[in-house]
């Protein structure tokens, strides 16, 4: 504008100069100032004005062009920067218009959803990513969010469940902003997959909740166990004494049965609290599942088909066989209850190798090798609303008296205590799959020998019996004596060590594991066996306070008698320990007390093989 005025001024000056020049020529030459001069003057002025206008316009256009070029350059740099941000962002970027039609789809969006950019551009994002029945609801939700989105420059964050191209559900967290560009609305969203993170958080919350309830339950069950040990142990003496008095014999039978039920309940509670005295060993899970399948086939309704898919090369798992059987049975019974109109139960095994992420996702103890056992049904499925409560103790949807709600909490506790993990997948109306992961067996442990369950056999050896509960100690002493043994009772590890130190001879150390005092039963046994490698040891416990006795301890192979126990079990375990031959280094040489069970087993297998031919 300034330049224009300057040019006009210059032109005006030129007119004035021309006029002055003309006047001067007139004054000097004296010629008349006629029409030609005036016309020349006007023409000169007009030319000057036109010239000024023309120049000014040229200058303006060139300035405008320069500014436009600068703007374009800036816009290009900013677009390149935006593309670079989108490309290098860890989260997926999706741009849509106000109707949800995809305008931009980053490389990460391809990875997250399985849909390529080419496929996604121009399609409706909701159709692409949301399951059919949820689409209308999703659209309505987005419509409600849109005004809010347009009014907040910082955008909004929300969570949603989307569908991967392959059909898997993905839980995402999105942060969206709306922009008005050229009179239309554009929605930019950065989308993050939080499926794994949420699974890990849920596992942690579940673990903390279970830990708290478990502490309480475990403590109570432990006390009950000690009381039950006294009841179940002494009732047989009473029953023996009153066997000729039918009314009293009936009462003792009732007490005995109630105690048995109490023992079963405390065992469930301890198992849930992960404080069950476990005896892990190498297990061939295929064998176990085949046995289970036979049992189910015989007992389940015929409208339930039972299918096994067992990996022939399955590794040995390391877990408590008895507990694993009851865990699998629990899952199978739940499956049956969910298939009242019939269906298919599939039992499958597989080897899996977990990285840290996978191990965390199923709540397993560490990254490594696991044996996977899957129990899948085609039943009712579990509604989403209750899915996170099914492992809670006493949670049941079954009628009163039909379910205690302890089944799954026991399974959960057992699997966790074994260092494994568990996961559940369920779709309402389609069925449920429970998957258990058990650690692969690394060490070779002694296989328990077969014993004759029917006979109670005593002995005359001397037993050092260490037990810190006075009542239990007294009862065990009486029971051991009734089996013919000589007993030296001790109230704790220190007393036991003093007795051994004084040179008192004894053949077997029978000790509780969890005891008050400086040393627990395991440590006491380690110390005694270190002094006398040939010493036989039998542990007892109602409560596995720590992990199973690991490798590296001298008493690792020693047997464990879980509390509460009956006289017959005590007698059998004692004989098994006393009759196990020990080599010079104190390592047990497994020679079973009775080979009858093994022989019978062998003959049974052999004859069925022969039948099969």
Ligand X SMILES: Nc1ncnc2c1ncn2[C@@H]1O[C@H](COP(=O)(O)OP(=O)(O)OP(=O)(O)O)[C@@H](O)[C@H]1O
Chain contacts with Mg ion (rule: CB under 5 A):
334, 407
DSSP string for 104-145: EE-HHHHHHHS--HHHHTTSBHHHHHS-GGGHHHHHHHHHHH
> DSSP labels for 348-365?
EEEEEEE-HHHHHHHT-S
User: Considering only residues 359-398, where is the footprint of ligand X by CB under 6 A?
Assistant: 377, 379-380, 382, 390, 395-398
According to the binding rule CB under 6 A, does residue 432 interact with ligand X? yes
CB-wise, 11 or 296, nearer to ligand X?
Answer: 296
Calpha distance 115→530 (Å, rounded)? 66
Q: Which is nearer to ligand X, 323 or 479 (CB)?
A: 323
Quote the least distance from Cβ 569 to ligand X, whole Å.
25
Residue 395 binds what, of ligand X, Mg ion, none (CB under 5 to 8 Å, by partner type)? ligand X
Q: Nearest distance from residue 257's CB to Mg ion, in Å?
A: 23
Query: Using CB under 6 A as the criterion, what x/- string covers residues 306-335 for binding ligand X?
Result: ------------------------x---xx
For residue 432, the partner it binds in ligand X, Mg ion, none, with Cβ less than 5 to 8 A by kind, is ligand X
Q: Is 430 in the site for ligand X (CB under 6 A)?
A: no
Nearer to ligand X, 403 or 592 (CB): 403
Residue of the chain from 319, 327, 347, 408 that contacts ligand X (CB under 6 A): 408
CA 510 – CA 449 distance, rounded (Å): 19
Could you tell me the sign of the dihedral formed by the alpha carbons of 350, 352, 358, 363, in that order? Answer: positive
**What whole-number distance in Å separates Cα of residue 594 and Cα of residue 221?**
34
C-alpha to C-alpha distance for 97 and 143, rounded to whole angstroms: 12
588 sits near ligand X (criterion: CB under 6 A): no
| Shortest separation between residue 408's beta carbon and Mg ion, angstroms | 6
- Shortest distance, position 333 Cβ to ligand X, whole Å: 7
Q: How far is the CB of 323 from ligand X (least distance, A)?
A: 15
Determine the Cα–Cα distance for residues 283 and 145; give it in Å rounded to an integer.
56
C-alpha torsion 329→335→341→346, nearest 10: -90
Shortest Cβ 403–ligand X spacing (Å): 3
How far apart CA 452 and CA 593 sit, in angstroms, is 8
8 Å CB contact between 18 and 37: no
CB of residue 336 vs ligand X: minimum separation in angstroms? 9
Residue nearest ligand X, CB atom distance = 407
What does R_g of the chain's alpha carbons equal in angstroms?
43
DSSP H helices in 242-284:
246-272
Site for ligand X in 120-159 (CB under 6 A): none
Return the number of the residue (33 or 394) whose C-beta is nearest ligand X.
394
Partner in contact with 493, chosen from Mg ion, ligand X, none, beta carbon below 5 to 8 Å by kind: none
Strands 368-377 and 431-439: antiparallel
Q: What are phi and psi of 223, to 5 degrees?
A: -60, -45
The CB-of-334 to Mg ion minimum distance in angstroms stands at: 4
Query: Among Mg ion, ligand X, none, what does residue 113 contact (CB within 5–8 Å per kind)?
Result: none
Enter the tokens of residue 185: 């609305």
Residues forming contacts to ligand X in the complex (CB under 6 A) are 330, 334-335, 338, 377, 379-380, 382, 390, 395-398, 403-409, 432
């Amino acid at each position: 504008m300034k330049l224009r005025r300057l040019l006009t001024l210059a032109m005006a000056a030129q007119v004035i100069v021309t006029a002055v020049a003309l006047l001067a020529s007139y004054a000097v030459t004296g010629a008349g100032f006629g029409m030609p001069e005036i016309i020349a003057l006007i023409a000169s002025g007009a030319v000057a004005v036109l010239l000024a206008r023309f120049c000014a316009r040229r200058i303006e256009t060139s300035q405008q062009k320069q500014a436009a070029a600068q703007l374009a350059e800036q816009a290009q740099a900013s677009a390149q920067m935006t593309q670079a941000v989108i490309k290098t962002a860890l989260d997926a970027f999706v741009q849509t218009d106000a109707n949800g039609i995809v305008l931009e789809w980053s490389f990460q969006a391809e990875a997250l959803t399985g849909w390529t950019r080419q496929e996604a551009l121009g399609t409706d994002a909701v159709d692409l990513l949301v399951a059919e029945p949820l689409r209308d609801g999703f659209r309505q939700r987005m419509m409600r969010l849109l005004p809010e989105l347009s009014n907040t420059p910082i955008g909004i964050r929300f969570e949603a469940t989307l569908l991967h191209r392959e059909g898997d559900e993905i839980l995402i967290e999105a942060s969206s902003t709306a922009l008005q560009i050229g009179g239309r609305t554009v929605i930019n969203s950065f989308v993050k997959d939080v499926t794994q993170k949420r699974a890990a958080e849920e596992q942690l919350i579940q673990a903390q909740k279970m830990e708290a309830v478990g502490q309480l339950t475990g403590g109570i069950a432990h006390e009950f166990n000690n009381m039950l040990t006294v009841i179940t142990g002494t009732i047989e003496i009473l029953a023996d004494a009153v066997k000729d008095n039918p009314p009293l014999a009936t009462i003792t039978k009732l007490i005995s049965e109630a105690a048995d039920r109490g023992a079963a309940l405390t065992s469930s509670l301890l198992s849930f609290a992960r404080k069950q005295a476990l005896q892990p060993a190498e297990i061939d899970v295929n064998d176990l599942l085949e046995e289970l399948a036979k049992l189910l086939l015989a007992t389940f309704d015929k409208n339930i088909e039972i299918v096994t898919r067992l990996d022939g090369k399955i590794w040995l798992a390391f877990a408590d066989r008895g507990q694993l059987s009851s865990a699998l049975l629990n899952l199978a019974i739940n499956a049956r209850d969910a298939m009242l109109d019939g269906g298919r139960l599939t039992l499958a095994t597989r080897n899996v190798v977990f990285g840290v992420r996978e191990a965390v996702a199923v709540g397993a103890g560490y990254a490594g090798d696991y044996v996977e056992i899957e129990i899948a049904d085609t039943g009712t499925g579990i509604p989403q609303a209750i899915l996170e409560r099914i492992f809670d103790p006493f949670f049941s949807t079954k009628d009163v008296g039909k379910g205690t709600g302890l089944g799954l909490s026991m399974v959960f506790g057992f699997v966790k205590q074994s260092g494994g993990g568990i996961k559940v997948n369920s779709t309402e109306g389609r069925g449920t799959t429970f998957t258990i992961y058990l650690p692969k067996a690394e060490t070779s442990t002694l296989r328990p020998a077969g014993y004759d369950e029917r006979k109670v056999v005593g002995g005359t050896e001397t037993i050092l019996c260490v037990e810190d509960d006075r009542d239990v100690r007294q009862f065990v002493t009486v029971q051991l004596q009734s089996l013919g043994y000589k007993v030296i009772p001790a109230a704790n590890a220190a007393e036991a060590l003093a007795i051994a130190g004084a040179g008192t001879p004894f053949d077997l150390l029978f000790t509780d594991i969890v005891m008050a005092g400086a040393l627990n039963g395991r440590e006491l046994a380690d110390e005694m066996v270190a002094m006398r490698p040939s010493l036989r040891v039998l542990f007892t416990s109602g409560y596995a306070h720590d992990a199973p006795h690991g490798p590296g301890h001298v008493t690792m192979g020693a047997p464990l008698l879980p509390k509460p126990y009956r006289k017959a079990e005590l007698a059998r375990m004692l004989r098994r320990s006393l009759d196990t031959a020990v080599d010079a280094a104190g390592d047990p040489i497994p020679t079973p007390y009775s080979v009858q069970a093994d022989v019978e087993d062998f003959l049974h297998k052999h004859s069925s093989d022969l039948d099969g031919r």
